[in-house]
Chain A
Amino acid sequence: DGGITQSPKYLFRKEGQNVTLSCEQNLNHDAMYWYRQDPGQGLRLIYYSQIVNDFQKGDIAEGYSVSREKKESFPLTVTSAQKNPTAFYLCASSMGGLYGYTFGSGTRLTVV
């Protein structure tokens, strides 16, 4: 079955560490997205990519980095520069608006 897979489901980070969240899709979608969700804030766009080897900053890109070396993969690195990384992170992919967006199951990141 086609879908979008995020791993790990739960992740714990120590202060000053970089961590990488994985997002893989087998839907042959061109566009991929990373969102952050905080309680009462809705979802906010971190980065998005509409084609391999190209990506754009979203609304809250500071402290995050991404790469898009393969169509299927769009990993997100939360760097030590992100001062408040504890949140629920959701990855999504899309073929373009007519077909909607598919979301992964999410990664819950906690700073310890």
Chain B
Amino acid sequence: ELKVEQNPLFLSMQEGKNYTIYCNYSTTSDRLYWYRQDPGKSLESLFVLLSNGAVKQEGRLMASLDTKARLSTLHITAAVHDLSATYFCAVESSNYKLTFGKGTLLTVNP
């Protein structure tokens, strides 16, 4: 059974600081997704990582995937208040099922 662990689950940052969210998973997969969720809203797709060594960047967020270590990271650079949200990683298994981590609640303080 595929298990996905995110850490930290809660992250309070100051504006301008950098930080990394980690996503570990238990079985082999080449496909990993990052989503953002604002309170009471649906999921917004951030990144789709499809191969080992994949790195994608959008604004202050950068995601990477190491399939050998079964690890993905979401790096936040120079955080701003608008990045406050819950971030989920999700791993796809071979039968096209997505398994989600519990999410990281990010709060960026002025």
Q: Which residues from chain A sit less than 8 Å from chain B, CB to CB?
A: 31, 33, 35, 40-45, 48, 50, 58, 90, 92, 94, 96-98, 100-106, 108
Contacts and interface: CB of A to CB of B under 8 A. Distances in A.
Contacts of B43: 43, 90, 103
Given A101-B33, A103-B43, A31 B101 contact: no
B99 A97 contact: no
A57 to B, nearest CB: 11
Contacts of A50: 96
Contacts of B9: 40
A32 B43 CA distance: 15
Interface of B: 9, 31, 33, 35, 40-43, 45, 48, 50, 88, 90, 92, 96-103
Contacts of B50: 97-98
A48 B92 contact: no
B36 to A, nearest CB: 11
Given A31-B96, A106-B42, A108-B40, 5 more contacts: A42-B100, A43-B88, A58-B97, A90-B42, A105-B42
B71 to A, nearest CB: 18
B98 A45 contact: yes
B83 to A, nearest CB: 19
A97 B100 contact: no
